[in-house]
Structure 1
Amino acid sequence: MSSSATPDSGVVTSTDGENVGANKARAEELKNQANECFKNKTYEDAIKLYTEAIELDSENAIYFANRSFAYLRQESFGYALNDAVQAIKCNPAYLKGYYRRAGAHMALGKFKLALSDLEFVAKRCPNDKDAQMKYTECNKVVKKMAFERAIAVDKVEKSLLEMCRDLESATIEVDYEGPKLEDGKVTVEFMNSLMDWYKIEKKLHKNFAYRILCDVEALFKKQPSLVDITVPDDRKFTVCGDIHGQFYDLLNIFNINGLPSETNPYLFNGDFVDRGSFSVECIFTLFGFKLLYPDHFFMSRGNHESMSMNQMYGFTGEVVAKYSQTMSEMFTMVYNWLPLCHCINDKVLVMHGGLFSKDEVSLDDLRTIERNRQPPEEGLMCELLWSDPQPQNGRAPSKRGIGIQFGPDVTKSFLAHNKLDYIIRSHEVKNDGYEVAHDGKCITVFSAPNYCDATGNLGAFITLKGNDLKPQFKTYAAVPHPKVKPMAYASTLSLLA
């Protein structure tokens, strides 16, 4: 079997070229062009070309498997799963179809289903080291999850406060020259020192890291699932989208727009971590500002503030490498208390993902969501974190395989029902860092430029004033960062996705 990390070339070797047929020959040309687009990381173009090839030859498993891989790269996990299934239907002996299906299941956190496909491949390719390694790693994950479920019944859960008390008594080494909390509290001086410390790739001492986690959890616990924000008429308010562990681009936002303060408030709209390899630096910077300005700095939960995403896409590995497994568990506890959405001046609703599979959802419904858990696979909490807009009216199954896609009519109805002006959401890479859709009523903002050092997109943030709430967009390019590649701490299984 050829490498799982490249699209299949599927060279036609018929001895009678005249019998291949014009359509199949053209389909092969399109597939080859698509493969080149894939290699150049222009996945949208690759998908269009694979689709044209499929329209000409819908029985070729390779075309579906290759398009599945491109969808995986775009994080359209639902579409990727559908194509992998179709590839297997076209050719049940085509092993890359099973590889692609495993990748889609893995991306959706369905490890047992992925294991079944990887086992199928591994048994048929006993000499393929990559196949054997992926199967072994996935098997470890499934066994670990089963073990954790088994012991959970008897395990006496400690609160995060109790965990901090056990850990923060560790001696601070005399040669530690980094930032220190003052009487256990975050100050402006501490935050400036912390960002400077992180710039030179130094680590915050674990005692202070534990204290920040403990204090920010206590703060989030006091907030409802929907937080109301009041912006005075003459004041600016800034909304940022996904950061994804791109610390140096986060600092660039503050350089462009000013540091957070009581007169320069911010809302960061989820997906602070994963993929980028400076996620620890991002999250402690954001948590520090939350503690410093609790009423002027806001954070919404994203779909990547979850255990399964963190295990796959790097945050758990990064925390373990820089601190400990215990601290990664503490982050999970904190993320469970992050608010799910924010409403600005009773007129603009901000959430990470999008809208809902049912009509007449009210803001009060969102306020009463029980959020202290891992994200479910359906319902309001799931859809707030995972849904995406679509250009056509109505609703459709999500391209991601979780949440829904919602059209302009759904947005219009939701806004009218709740007397809102528009929604702001994040969750999707946009070439310009933002997109205005649904007749101006659904705005996407994405703040990680050149996402994963690969996509070439701009980043953006939104500013608005309380008197008119008119969104203004500021875009910016990526800035240099130390030579640590994205996904450096990710699970080897993430390569499937």
Structure 2
Amino acid sequence: MASGDPVDVAPLNVTDADKAKAEAAKDAANKLFAAKNYEQAIEKYTEAISHNPNVAAYYANRGFAYIRSEFYAAAIRDADKAIELDPTYVKGYYRRATGNMALGKLKEAVKDFRAVCKVAPKDADARKKLADCEKELKRITFEAAIAFDEVKRSIKDMIGDVDSMVVDSSYDGPHLPETGVTLEFVKDMLEHMRKQKKLHRKYLYKILFAVKEYFEAQPPIIDVTIPEEGKITVCGDIHGQFYDLLHVLDVNGLPSETNAYLWNGDFVDRGSFSVECVTTLFAFKLLYPNSVFLSRGNHETNDMNRTYGFEGEVKAKYSDATFKLFSEIFNAIPIGNLINEKIFVIHGGLFSRDDVTMDEIRKIDRFKQPGSEGLMCELLWSDPQNEPGRSPSKRGVGIQFGPDVTEAFCKLNNLDMIIRSHEVKQDGYQVDHNGRCITIFSAPNYCDSVGNKGAYIHITPDLKLKYNQYSAVEHPPVKAMQYAGLGSMLM
């Protein structure tokens, strides 16, 4: 049994001593939760359940910790158990509704919020969440219905002739040269966006169309060679935290032919400066195509962007057509990078079967949304576990894979290790599976609330790894999830 899995079998007798131990573990878990140490809180709630599995609150509390850890399927399982133990327990319905909402199961979320409102009709928060979920469900249903009647227009037709767009004299930002992206332009663009000013839409479109054409010509997996006289820096999730991205560039240096970078997915969502983040990465990709590399993350997808803010941010700063252009680019971003033939860098993790080869991965059709199953989905969504073998994902998508799975994959494909991201780590990184599986996360104080460090990895041509940690820097008073809609309910 994996750590934190529900314990459903009650002992024959729950003694007073068992109950006391359970309450002590629960109290310890609550303190860990308050300190935002969700992983250890889950362990303590699990300990409480092991002593007394008959208390609905223990499951609901652990479910809340799972929600904060983004393990929504596990949260739903705990909510189910809490409701089974006490059908009138309001928090059980709250937790299940939140988990279903995060997984895009809005019908189920609406049903549970209605149950909360029935039991607690004066709960203003529940009534608001119910109304918001019902509104979003109607919007999605409406959009799906009219989609059948729409004639699909190309993005270029929707946006129009970019070259003929007029740049008003009041625009005080950088002007993109006719010859394309230059280092001077990128530096000026960073300073312009640092002041919370928008890049003119003409120049944004020129960058986006150019990078779209570039990515569409690339294979699913990119072979990366570390510069002989330099290094490559591997960064994990940045999630729209533009000012932390600027901090990395300030302390680690701008990309160059000897200072290569690999950003491993989840450039957008949650943080409220996602447009600035992804525009920066795309501009550097155009400037240094052989020194800057990107891997697609699970948040470079339409469902995630709708829930967690990127769609709303793009529409607020630019337009609906701009978001559709970003979506097409995300479909074209490579899904992995292979460093010096030995280090496989992917966003999520490994697969539900043992015989997956690099040759098979190189044949994945990535030009689409990843769906909820298959190699591409698992590559973007899966997580490591300490126990051998495989388990259902606590997220509800992908799988969990043990050290033996990682070992077998590396041996089959003659790899030293995999580097992945996808999970918040308090230290910014974590080494698992006997050094074969490394997690790197580069969004410090994630969502302005978690208090974690950020980190990146230096890798030199001899494949030596050095971990570098950093703390969050100040940013303008724009809260995380500013554009998130329903996603803001998950915080």
TM-score tier, shorter chain, comes to over 0.9
Is 2:241 the partner of 1:240? no
Separation in 2, partners of 1:57, 1:148: 47
Alignment partner, residue 475 of structure 2? 481
Q: Is the 8 A contact 1:184 1:211 kept in 2?
A: no
Give per-residue Cα distances to partners, 1:261-304, cap 9 Å, x unaligned: 22222110001111112111111111111111122211111111
Alignment partner, residue 369 of structure 1? 364
Specify the code of the residue in structure 2 equivalent to 1:182. P
Separation in 1, partners of 2:106, 2:263: 30
Alignment partner, residue 165 of structure 1? 160
The correspondence of residues 79-228 of structure 1 with structure 2, limited to 5 A, is 79-165=74-160, 169-183=164-178, 185-228=180-223
Q: Is the 8 A contact 1:270 1:303 kept in 2?
A: yes
Separation in 2, partners of 1:200, 1:156: 40
Q: Is the 8 A contact 2:133 2:486 kept in 1?
A: no
TM (norm. structure 1) is: 0.91
1:26, distance to aligned residue in structure 2 (A): 4.7
Is 2:427 the partner of 1:432? yes
Q: Residue 246 and residue 347 in structure 1: after superposition, are their counterparts in 2 closer, same or farther (change >3 A)?
A: same
**3-state secondary structure, aligned to 1:336:** helix
Specify the code of the residue in structure 2 equivalent to 1:35. N
Alignment partner, residue 485 of structure 2? 491
Separation in 2, partners of 1:148, 1:366: 33
Specify the code of the residue in structure 2 equivalent to 1:477. S
Separation in 2, partners of 1:161, 1:265: 32
Alignment partner, residue 8 of structure 2? none
Separation in 2, partners of 1:28, 1:412: 40
State how many pairs are aligned. Answer: 478
Q: Residue 414 and residue 48 in structure 1: after superposition, are their counterparts in 2 closer, same or farther (change >3 A)?
A: closer
Is 2:375 the partner of 1:380? yes
**3-state secondary structure, aligned to 1:472:** strand
Separation in 2, partners of 1:233, 1:475: 25
Separation in 2, partners of 1:160, 1:364: 33
1:341, distance to aligned residue in structure 2 (A): 0.5
Q: Residue 425 and residue 31 in structure 1: after superposition, are their counterparts in 2 closer, same or farther (change >3 A)?
A: same
1:43, distance to aligned residue in structure 2 (A): 2.1
Separation in 2, partners of 1:390, 1:30: 23
TM (norm. structure 2) is: 0.92
Specify the code of the residue in structure 1 equivalent to 2:470. Y
Is 2:304 the partner of 1:309? yes
- Structure 1 unaligned segments of length 5 or more: list them: 1-18
Worse-matched range after superposition: 348-357 or 29-38? 29-38
Alignment partner, residue 9 of structure 1? none
Separation in 1, partners of 2:281, 2:111: 39
Among the aligned pairs, what percent are the same residue? 54
Alignment partner, residue 268 of structure 2? 273
1:171, distance to aligned residue in structure 2 (A): 2.8
Separation in 1, partners of 2:163, 2:61: 50
Separation in 2, partners of 1:341, 1:110: 29
Q: Is the 8 A contact 1:99 1:496 kept in 2?
A: no
Q: Is the 8 A contact 1:100 1:496 kept in 2?
A: no
Separation in 2, partners of 1:444, 1:301: 16
Separation in 1, partners of 2:272, 2:228: 39
Separation in 2, partners of 1:118, 1:373: 33
Worse-matched range after superposition: 348-357 or 171-180? 171-180
Give per-residue Cα distances to partners, 1:75-133, cap 9 Å, x unaligned: 11221111111111111222221111111112122222222222332344433222121
Specify the code of the residue in structure 1 equivalent to 2:89. Y
Alignment partner, residue 472 of structure 1? 466
User: Aligned match of 1:299 in 294, 298, 322?
Assistant: 294
Specify the code of the residue in structure 1 equivalent to 2:401. F
The correspondence of residues 18-29 of structure 1 with structure 2, limited to 5 A, is 21-29=16-24
Q: Is the 8 A contact 1:134 1:493 kept in 2?
A: no
Q: Is the 8 A contact 1:164 1:214 kept in 2?
A: no
Is 2:339 the partner of 1:344? yes
Give per-residue Cα distances to partners, 1:381-435, cap 9 Å, x unaligned: 1111111111221111112121111111111111111111111111112222111
Separation in 1, partners of 2:150, 2:164: 24
Specify the code of the residue in structure 2 equivalent to 1:311. R
Worse-matched range after superposition: 348-357 or 48-57? 48-57
Specify the code of the residue in structure 2 equivalent to 1:471. L
Q: Is the 8 A contact 1:30 1:50 kept in 2?
A: yes
Q: Is the 8 A contact 2:236 2:264 kept in 1?
A: yes
Q: Residue 40 and residue 237 in structure 1: after superposition, are their counterparts in 2 closer, same or farther (change >3 A)?
A: closer
Alignment partner, residue 15 of structure 1? none
Specify the code of the residue in structure 1 equivalent to 2:142. F
1:144, distance to aligned residue in structure 2 (A): 1.7
Separation in 1, partners of 2:206, 2:111: 42
Separation in 1, partners of 2:87, 2:480: 35
Specify the code of the residue in structure 2 equivalent to 1:205. H
**3-state secondary structure, aligned to 1:144:** helix
1:22, distance to aligned residue in structure 2 (A): 4.5
Q: Residue 472 and residue 370 in structure 1: after superposition, are their counterparts in 2 closer, same or farther (change >3 A)?
A: same
